[in-house]
Structure 1
C-alpha cells in the first residue's frame, strides 16, 4: 500500500511538472520611431563659422592703376593681399527622406566688373574648390566642378557646380571653396573708381 502511494505521488509530481512546462508562452513588444521629412536647404548657415557657407562679399582690394602688367588679386577679409583669404562652401542639406529625387547648384556672372558705364574688360573671376564630401556616402556624380580644381566664370554663361542625380545627394553635401581670384589682363583700361559685379548661385531641388 505504501508502494502504491509513493508511485501515485511520483506520477502526480511528474504531471505537475509537465503541466507547468506547457504553460510557458511568449509576448511581443513593438518599438516604433517615426521620421518626418526634414526638407532640403541650400547654403545652410552654421553659427560662428562663416567659411561653412557662401561669402556675401568678395574684396579684391584697392590698387593703383597700371596697364602694362597683367594682375592677379585674391579676395581677402579686408582686400589687403596679405590678410586672411576669403573662403566659403557650397552646401546642401537634403533631409527630404525621399528616393528618386536629386538637386543641382549652378553659378553665373551675368555682367563684367563695372564702374558706372566703365567696364573692366577681360577680367576673369574664378574660384578654387577642394574635395566634395557627403556624410551618407551618397556623393553627387552629375555635372559639376572636379575636386581640387578652379572654375573661371564666363560672362553671361551658367556653370554647373554640383549635380546630384536621382538617388544621390541625400544628407549633408559640401564643396569647400578655398580661394576666389580676379585676373585682369595687361593693356586693360581702368578708371579711378570702384568696380563691381555680382555672382549668382542658383539652386534647384531637381537635377536639371
Structure 2
C-alpha cells in the first residue's frame, strides 16, 4: 500500500508539470505603430535662436572713405566691429521617409555691391562654416563646402553648400555659419553712400 501511494503522488506531480509547461505560450499580443510621410523643409525656423537659421541682413558697418589700404569687415549685430558677430545655419529638415531622393543647397551672389550706379569693384563677400551635423548619422557626402572652410562668393557663379546624395541627409542636417566677411581691396573707388548686394540661397529637393 505504501508503494502504491508513492507512485500515485509521483504521477500526479509529473502530470502537473506537464500541464504547466504546455500552458506557457497561451496567447499573443501584437503592437503596431504607423508612420506617414512628412515634409522636407529648408531653413526651418527656431523661435528665439537666430543662430539656427539664415540671417536676413548682414551689417558690415559704416566706415570713413579711404582707398590706400585693403579693408576687411565682419557682419555684426549692429555693424560695429566690436559687437556680437552675425552667425547662422544652413539647415534642412528631411522627414519624407523616402530613401534614395536626396537634396541640395546652393548659394550665389548675382551682383556686386552697388549704390545706385556706383559699384564696389573687387569686393568679396565670404562666409566661414563649422562642422556639418546630422542627427541620424546620415551625413551628406556630395559636393559641398568643407568643414571649417570659407567660401568666397564669385559674382554670377553658383557654389555648392550641401549636397545629400541618394540615401543621405534624412532627419535634421545643419551646417553652422560662424561669420560673414566683406573684403574690399585697396585702390577701390568709393562713394559716400550705402552699398548693397543680395545673397541667394537655392534649395532643391533632389541632389541636382
**TM exceeding 0.5:** yes
Q: How many residues align?
A: 207
Q: What does 1:116-131 align with in structure 2 at a 5 Å threshold? A: 116-131=116-131
Q: Which residue of structure 1 lines up, in the alignment, with residue 23 of structure 2?
A: 24
Map of 2:153 onto structure 1? 153
Structure 1's 190 and 22: CA in aligned 2 closer, same or farther, altered over 3 A? closer
Which residue does the alignment assign to 1:40? 40
Quick one: distance in 2 between partners of 1:36 and 1:202? 27
RMSD: 2.0
Could you say if the C-alpha distance between residues 44 and 5 of structure 1 is closer, same or farther in structure 2, counting changes exceeding 3 Å?
A: same
1:86 is matched with 86
Give unmatched runs, 5+ long, in structure 1: none
- TM-score normalised to structure 1 length: 0.92
Structure 1 residues 156 and 25: alpha-carbon distance in aligned structure 2, compared to 1, 3 A threshold:
same
Q: Structure 2 CA distance, aligned partners of 1:11 and 1:72?
A: 96
Task: Give the structure 1 partner of residue 144 of structure 2.
Answer: 144
Alignment of 1:1-208 (within 5 A): 13=12, 17=16, 20-21=19-20, 24=23, 26=25, 27-208=27-208
What's the CA shift for 1:22? 7.0
Question: Per-residue deviation at 1:15?
Answer: 8.4
Change (3 A) 1:125 1:25: same
Give the unaligned 5+ runs of structure 2: none
What per-residue deviation string (whole Å, max 9, x for no partner) do you get for residues 77-126 of structure 1?
Answer: 00001111000010111111111110000000000001111111110000
In 2, the alpha carbon distance for the partners of 1:173 and 1:51 equals 14
C-alpha separation between the residues in 1 aligned to 2:8 and 2:201? 90
Query: Could you tell me how far apart the structure 1 residues matched to 2:112 and 2:12 are?
Result: 99
